[in-house]
Amino acid sequence: MHPLSSGGWKEIGARVAQKIAPETEERIAKLVERLRAEGFRVTPQRLEVLRLLLTTDRHPSAEDLYDQLKRRFPTLSLATVYKTMETLRSMGEVLYLEFKEGSTRYDGRFPYPHTHLICSSCGLIEDLIHDPVTADVNKAVTQSGFALSKYRFDLYGLCKDCQKAPGRATVSKPA
């Protein structure tokens, strides 16, 4: 199985903050209001998909979200997860990360273009927190007068854990 395909990791909740930050709770509340204002039903299942997506530092697939929530919500369907993701994407509240082998992962914490660090071995995706690339791109685009609609910048290599794993190939460091 390719590391970026579904099933690359099982427990999203393991990397979800134990206590949700006040600004995240506020964002969730505003999104719930917006969903209702636009005529969407906010079921407990949809609310948990939203909450999980906005609080995990992972970049889950729809299948990962479904697998994490189906024990608590036995009536939850994978279709509900996909519809929720599409609704959030259309609202600009989730970033789709599509890969050429056909998998899609989602970023709900930072739903705007930014740099991702992607492990070529295990498929871990991390956000580059202090991202000078995005700042430089935004500055250059603004100065050029170009109306940028989207871009994506991914850096591939090995995460810390995979670098330490016995028998793993090493990645040469830039000069």
CATH number where 135 lies: 3.30.1490.190
Q: Which CATH number characterizes residue 58's domain?
A: 1.10.10.10
Both 102 and 119 in one domain: the answer is no
27 & 67 share domain = yes
Could you tell me if 54 and 130 lie in one domain?
no
| Distances, alpha carbon 61 to alpha carbons 41, 85, 124, 147, in Å | 22, 10, 12, 30
Number of structural domains in the chain: 2
Same domain, 72 and 149: no
Q: Looking at the structure, do residues 78 and 9 belong to the same domain, yes or no?
A: yes
Helix axes 44-55, 22-37, angle to 10 degrees: 140
Question: End-to-end distance of the chain based on CA atoms, in angstroms?
Answer: 33
Is 127 found in the same domain as 96? no
Domain final residue, candidates 108, 138, 154:
108
Same domain, yes or no: 5 and 62: yes
DSSP assignment, residue 110? S
Q: What is the pLDDT of residue 3?
A: 43
CB 14 within 8 A of CB 135: no
pLDDT at 14: 43
Q: What range does the domain containing 19 cover?
A: 1-108
- The pLDDT, as a whole number, for residue 18 is 54
In this structure, are 48 and 133 located in the same domain? no
pLDDT of residue 117: 92
Gap between the Cα atoms of 97 and 12, Å rounded: 17
Q: Which of 64, 80, 108 is the last residue of a domain?
A: 108
Asked if residue 140 and residue 83 are part of one domain, the reply reads no
Query: Who contacts 150 (Cβ-Cβ below 8 Å, separation ≥6)?
Result: 113
Residues of the chain short of pLDDT 50, as ranges, are: 1-17, 175
Whether 74 and 136 share a structural domain: no
pLDDT of residue 82: 95
CA atoms within 13 A on the CB side of 47: 12
* Burial class (CB within 10 angstroms; exposed 0-12, middle 13-18, buried 19+) of 26: exposed
Q: What is the pLDDT of residue 10?
A: 43
pLDDT at 5: 42
Single out the residue in 66, 82, 108 at which a domain terminates: 108
Do residues 93 and 133 both lie within one domain? no
